[in-house]
Amino acid sequence: MNILIVSNMGPKPSAPLQGQFVDKQVERLRQKSPTIDYFNLSWNGDSIFHRVLKYPVYFFQFFIRYLLSAKKIDIMHIHFYFPTIVCGVLYKLLRNPGVKIVVTCHGSDIYAYQPPGVVYRYLSRFVNHWFFTSESLYHRFFRKLDNKTILSAGFDDEVFARSQDEGNKKFDCLFVGTLDHNKGVDRLIALATKMPDIHFGVVGAGMLAEQLRQYASKYNNLTLLGSRSATELADIVKASKFLISLSRNESFGLVIAEAHACGIPCIATETDGSLEQLEDSPYLIAQGGLDEESLIEQLTEKIQQALNLVISDYQDLQVQAVAKAANYSLSNVISVIESQYKALYCSQSSGCKNVQ
């Protein structure tokens, strides 16, 4: 069974960790199937040339590398439906009509295409199985599907786990993610301004990093930590009392699962991802119908309430967080993906009994 994983994500200066969770999935999958091939967006950047030409270059590289190759791909797993699906459809039409196409939808590949155009709708016909990172994200898709599975990106359970010795907490609230408007950097600055006695830690890079640096140069309650490896991030998460997620849109929010696995509770704005993971938590703040000023007031109140919890109540939240993370481990995700690959391959091959 020859498998190709295709992603339209790759690191760039403003987002050096972009696509890292797909890299980790591939790494784990290759532990059992070392011949899995991986094609991602290798030519990426923040310049106007990259924004205009990255996809023409990407599709040309795919054409040369795979459509002209003698090796036949049996399963193609597309990460980020549109426009990455073009790779799968080109391969099916021009190289191997029998290839099975799997798609993982991550969020913006649905959020940014509402209502979807004709091409977006048409190309969905070529997909044999769909993965959606949350139930809410699936419900935003333009049509109902029988061939779908709800499956998160998966936190690395070899790295993110609760420590017996938690030590002292360095940060009251930790913000992790791309430093942009969607992730709520403006909200973070507003909170830090209103709560000068609360120490905020920030892990990440992005277009609004300079705005945060300007704030941090004037005030001492916000510490910028830049981009960090998974191991470094796990240590920083464990040194924090709470994670705060301020996103406007989020299909899953892998950092929430990572924090929960470390026993760190989360205070979050309502998104598809936070609703999936926090459910009826009192620290889940609705965004609908609220102006930004009212939202900041509610967030301020919840943060103060959370930081004033007695130790026994905080420990209860930690236990609940670890329990919530269990379903989102990378080990579990990989098991589901491998099972789906085998099922699709067996549907077209009489020799599937020998597939591991």
Separation of alpha carbons 35 and 140, rounded Å: 35
Structure tokens at 99: 């290839």
Helix, strand, coil % over all residues of the chain, rounded to 5: 45, 15, 40
pTM attached to this predicted model: 0.83
* Pair 204, 178: CB distance under 8 Å: yes
Domains of the chain: 3-154+330-354 (3.40.50.2000), 171-327 (3.40.50.2000)
State the Cα–Cα distance between residues 314 and 194, nearest whole angstrom: 24
d(C-alpha 258, C-alpha 270), whole Å = 18
**For the chain, what is the largest distance between any 2 Cα atoms, rounded to a whole number of angstroms?**
68
pLDDT in tens, 260-305: 999 999 999 999 999 989 988 999 999 988 899 999 999 999 999 9
The stretches in the chain having pLDDT less than 70 are 349-356
In whole angstroms, what is the distance from residue 351 CA to residue 32 CA? Answer: 18
Residues near 233 by beta carbon (within 8 Å), at least 6 away in sequence: 176, 203, 258
- Residue 297 has a CB neighbour count (10 Å cut-off) of 14
Alpha-carbon distance of 131 to 112, in angstroms, equals 18
Per-residue pLDDT, 274? 93
Closest CA to 205 of 42, 16, 31, 331: 16
From the centroid of its chain, how far is CA 54? 21
